[in-house]
A and B are shown apart, each in its own frame.
Chain A
């Protein structure tokens, strides 16, 4: 991206209410997750036997659950995990998508045919169901394994888009000239193809974070994710699912944080798309997990 264009994009981003709101929201959630627990003075696994099901108050800012654990600290812990798993999974899956998509699009021929078949195959395999089947086996390996697993099943649609973009870039003059000058393929890809994909990849990665967060909390909701005493926003929501009206803080705090987190990434992604590509601000919104 040229410096002038970068400045242009930055200006558009700063002016976009969505980008500002999304970034502010994300910063707020980040602070809540990491700066909150030390301030509250409770551990996420601590049990306060003198406060069972207690509503929000001075002792427990956002109340306690049925065995006296602090909802504020537990939610913060769950939020930390969602942030980590989401960003890590998105990063891994974006790299994977870029690698596969560029190779398929640039080299064509059999490379393309084999990779496209793999992409199509993984798209047909019901990702979330397979994730759910495998997740219990990975409990010992912890959240890092979940991030890898979610990434492994979340890169295919992006790879398709990257492949299509690469195919059209390949025919552009500066790439053709470089090829005829005998520049090695990997150098062409690094110097001339990847920079043109960067903006798409960044935008797509933001939306992928949201999808990964939904997958992780969904697994946890079914009991396939984090195991006690550790928590995830999904386990907290599942734990409160039968009492949303009797003990609202137990349900609305983790559910609200989860929704705000996904919303923040959607807002930033949408704003990035508009800023990078103002002509066709066609918002192609990604589906559920």
Chain B
């Protein structure tokens, strides 16, 4: 695409602004914070509820555009509003984002790298046992929704624990509550808790990326310059490594932004299943209580993540493909 990075950046910012407005609009229309206040026992007087909603900037009797204008003006100055119980959204968001990052980081990186490697391997061994095994594996994993995958892993861990007679694999929460001991014990405890969610995230990434990478590698394998390289004496593996791998990675850069969104959405389920209190479970709670500001924060963050991943994908594309750079 012959568009300059500056144009792409402007376009991304414009998309982010409009999608922020859309997210705010939809969330305000769909969620009902008034009901949450009114459902308390004893039921607070209407005047109190009205005042509280007005304080939070969530008064549903004002036009939504007005509420959005006020909220976005404050958001521009770094104030993302407050949750229904009065906590600043920014603070809670930062804490929760840390949890989600810890949940996703290892699984995503490991899953992507393993997926790409597996895809290349399967393409080279096309039609042979490793290729078939990987295809079956991908089909199986992609047919299992993320929440079922998480629950299956938990059930597996439970069986292992029962067989061992003690808790080998932890499968709920981020750490054992009230655990005594030094940093080494704490770290080991955190790692044990991380194991299963990480596997859950990584399996999905491997299944997805290996399919794309396999197809891309197959396309490259037939290319003439690879045959030339082999005719000049390089072994097939070496020719692929030196002249093919780089090109075969290019299609992956366009998948990147959607893959990222899928990962983030998957994390919402993974958090719920494994009892991690990150952005995903915060969002689910926000929808249940009608917490508009919290919901919008997570939605806009996801939108920004997609745009960022898209720009990153573009940059990678440029780095990998000299034909794009020349423009």
A interface with B by C-beta (< 8 Å)? 117, 120-121, 123-126, 128-130, 132-134, 136-137, 157, 210, 214, 217-218, 221-224, 234, 237-238, 241, 244-245, 251, 255, 258-260, 262-263, 266-267, 270, 280, 282-285, 287-289
Contacts and interface: CB of A to CB of B under 8 A. Distances in A.
Given A124-B303, A126-B302, A258 B262 contact: no
Contacts of B219: 280, 282
Interface of B: 15-16, 18-19, 22-23, 26-27, 29-31, 138-140, 142-148, 151-152, 154-155, 158-159, 162, 204, 208, 211-212, 214-215, 218-219, 258-259, 261-262, 264-266, 268-269, 272-273, 283-284, 287-288, 295, 298-299, 302-303, 306-307
Nearest to A254: B148
Contact of A262 (B143, B162, B269, B272): B143
Contacts, number: 140
Nearest to B16: A124
Contact of A217 (B145, B162, B268, B302): B145
A115 to B, nearest CB: 14
A24 B289 CA distance: 44
Contacts of A285: 138, 142, 208, 211-212
Given A134-B26, A259-B145, A280-B219, 6 more contacts: A125-B23, A130-B299, A133-B27, A244-B155, A260-B143, A283-B211
Contact of B265 (A128, A133, A241): A128
Given A125-B303, A241-B151, A251-B155, A289 B265 contact: yes
A245 B158 contact: yes
Contacts of B15: 117, 120-121, 124
A288 B265 contact: yes
A280 to B, nearest CB: 8
A241 B288 CA distance: 19
Contacts of B269: 218, 221
A45 to B, nearest CB: 24
9 contacts: A126-B302, A221-B147, A221-B269, A223-B288, A251-B151, A259-B144, A262-B145, A284-B211, A285-B212
A133 B295 contact: yes
Contacts of B23: 125-126, 130
Contacts of A125: 19, 22-23, 299, 303
A258 B148 contact: yes
Contacts of B31: 133
A49 B143 CA distance: 36
Nearest to B208: A287
Contact of A129 (B147, B155, B299): B299
Given A130-B299, A218-B147, A287-B262, A124 B283 contact: no
Nearest to B290: A136
A235 B272 CA distance: 14
A124 B306 contact: yes
Contacts of A222: 272, 284, 287
Interface centre among A132, A133, A280 (most CB of B within 10 A): A133
Contact of B145 (A133, A214, A223, A280): A214
Contacts of B262: 287-289
B174 to A, nearest CB: 19
A255 B153 CA distance: 13
Nearest to A118: B18
A128 to B, nearest CB: 5
Nearest to A289: B265
Nearest to A245: B158
A251 B153 CA distance: 13
Nearest to B145: A214
A255 B19 contact: no
B284 A132 contact: yes
B22 A126 contact: no
Contacts of B211: 283-285
Contacts of A128: 265, 268
B306 A123 contact: yes
Given A120-B15, A129-B299, A282-B215, A266 B142 contact: yes
